[in-house]
Amino acid sequence: MKKRRILSTTGRLLVFLCLIICFDSCRLFRKRESSNTYPTGRASYNSRTINNIIITARGYTGVPYRSGGNDAGGFDCSGLICSVYSSQGFQLPRISWQQANIGREIEIADVKPGDLVFFVTNKGGTANINHAGLITEVHSEKEILFIHASTSKGVREDNLFSKYWIACFAKATRPF
């Protein structure tokens, strides 16, 4: 008798658990919201915000390169971008190849301040995006400045059309 009662209790428990799973199943299959919402709540992507992003980035000019760095003690390229956008309320991925997948891709002729540029420098022998920068000024079709964290010279601005950078150029995006 006790054995039958135990099975009966176990059976009820199993049925109860199945019902809970069944009623909650829609929650199990719902697409989870990403923690990387673009842009975040308080941010408004406009010319004033873009100007503030550029001013913030330029404020770090001369800060040394530090692999994995994302503060005034040292930056790597994606850390600089992540940090300056974050200062204005935007949340971007931390890694350059992930940043390259945010927003919409644009032609190099259409870049404007606030756009992001990505490069394959082939350091480490990869064919993947491994460097990123932020467009700061567009003077002409062959003089477009971007700020980035250079491994040898720290945070600095360079011309996108310099021999080295244009050869490594992979794509440009408008993040928001």
What residues contact 154, with CB distance under 8 A and at least 6 apart?
Answer: 62, 63, 64, 65, 74, 75
Q: Name the catalytic one among 77, 82, 139, 168.
A: 77
> Both tokens of residue 150?
């250079």
Domain boundaries, the chain: 1-29, 47-174
Q: Name the catalytic one among 18, 22, 26, 131.
A: 131
13 pLDDT higher than 90: no
The angle formed by the CA atoms of residues 49, 72 and 50, to the nearest 5 degrees, is 10
Domain 47-174, CATH among 3.40.50.1820, 3.90.1720.10, 3.30.930.10, 2.60.40.10: 3.90.1720.10
Assign 50 to helix, strand or coil.
helix
Selection from 102, 91, 113, 101 nearest residue 42 by Cα: 91
How far does CA 48 lie from the centroid of its chain? 21
Neighbours of 153 (CB within 10 A): 12
| Radius of gyration, CA atoms only, the chain | 24
State pLDDT tens for residues 28-69.
333 333 334 444 445 688 999 999 999 999 999 999 999 999
131 carries an active-site annotation: yes
pTM > 0.85: yes or no:
no
77 carries an active-site annotation: yes
State pLDDT tens for residues 98-124.
999 999 999 999 999 999 999 999 876
